[in-house]
C-alpha cells in the first residue's frame, strides 16, 4: 500500500507483521500492541527499528513508556466515523512529546487529511492509484481554524486579538 508522508507518495519502508507471522531478521516492522508487549525486549534489540500498531480501542498511554523505542506508531481508523485515532495522535504529540512518525491506517479519507495533519499525523497509508495532488488539494480546504491543535496554527480568536 502506498504511503503518503509529508505530502509526498513514497515507497513504504515498513512492513506490517501479523501476530502469527514470524518477524523477519531484518527490515523495519510494525507489530500489534499485544505482540509488542510480549516481544518488547527482542524487538528493541533488533538492528532495524520497530513500530507498533494501535487499534481504536487502545490509547496513547498504552505505549507512552516505550515511545523512545518506537520508530512509528500506526493508528487504526476501522471506519471513517471512528475518531479515536485523532485523540491518540494529539496525545502522542502534545502529552507524551512523541516526535517519531505517526501514521494513519485503515479507512483513511482525503476529506479528513487536513484534520489528521492538524492532530499530529505525518504519514498515511493510502489506496493504490491515489495521487499526491488529490491529497494536497485537501490541505487547502480551510485557511483559518477555530480549534487549537497539535500543529500550533493560530486560531481565529488569537488572530482577532493580535492587535
Q: Give tens-digit pLDDT for 106-132.
A: 998 888 888 888 889 999 998 887 777
Amino acid 80: pLDDT:
81
Residues contacting 78, CB < 8 A, separation 6+ = 55, 56, 106, 107
Domain of residue 115, CATH code: 3.20.20.70
Low-confidence ranges of the chain (pLDDT < 70): 137-160, 163
Residues contacting 20, CB < 8 A, separation 6+ = none
Range of the domain at 107: 3-160
The backbone region for 36, taken as left when phi is positive above 0, alpha when psi lies in -120 to 50, beta otherwise, is: alpha
HEC string of the chain equals CCEEECCEEECCCEEECCCCCCCCCCCEEEEEHHHHHHHHHHHHHCCCCEEEEECCCCCHHHCHHHHHHEEEEEEEECCCCCCHHHHHHHHHHHHCCCCCEEEEEECCCHHHHHHHHHHCCCEEECCCCCCHHHHHHHCCCCCCECCCCCCCCCEHHHHHCCC
Amino acid 116: pLDDT:
86
Amino acid 25: pLDDT:
92
* Strand-strand pairing, 123-125 and 3-5: antiparallel
Amino acid 127: pLDDT:
84
Amino acid 145: pLDDT:
59
The domain total for the chain is 1
Cα–Cα distance for residue pair 104/60, rounded to 1 Å: 14
Amino acid at each position: 500500500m502506498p504511503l503518503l508522508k509529508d505530502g509526498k507518495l513514497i515507497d513504504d519502508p515498513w512492513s506490517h507483521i501479523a501476530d502469527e507471522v514470524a518477524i523477519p531478521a531484518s527490515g523495519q516492522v510494525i507489530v500489534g500492541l499485544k505482540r509488542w508487549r510480549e516481544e518488547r525486549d527482542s524487538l528493541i534489540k533488533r538492528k532495524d527499528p520497530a513500530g507498533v500498531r494501535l487499534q481504536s480501542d487502545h490509547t496513547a498511554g498504552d505505549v507512552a513508556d516505550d515511545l523512545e523505542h518506537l520508530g512509528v506508531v500506526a493508528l487504526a481508523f476501522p471506519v471513517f466515523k471512528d475518531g479515536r485515532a485523532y485523540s491518540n495522535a494529539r496525545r502522542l504529540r502534545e502529552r507524551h512529546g512523541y516526535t517519531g512518525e505517526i501514521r494513519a491506517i485503515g479507512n483513511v479519507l482525503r476529506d479528513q487529511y487536513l484534520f489528521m495533519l492538524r492532530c499530529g499525523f505525518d504519514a498515511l497509508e493510502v489506496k493504490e492509484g491515489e495521487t499526491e495532488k488529490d491529497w494536497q488539494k485537501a490541505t487547502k480546504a480551510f485557511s483559518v481554524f477555530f480549534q487549537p491543535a497539535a500543529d500550533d496554527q493560530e486560531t481565529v480568536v488569537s488572530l482577532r486579538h493580535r492587535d
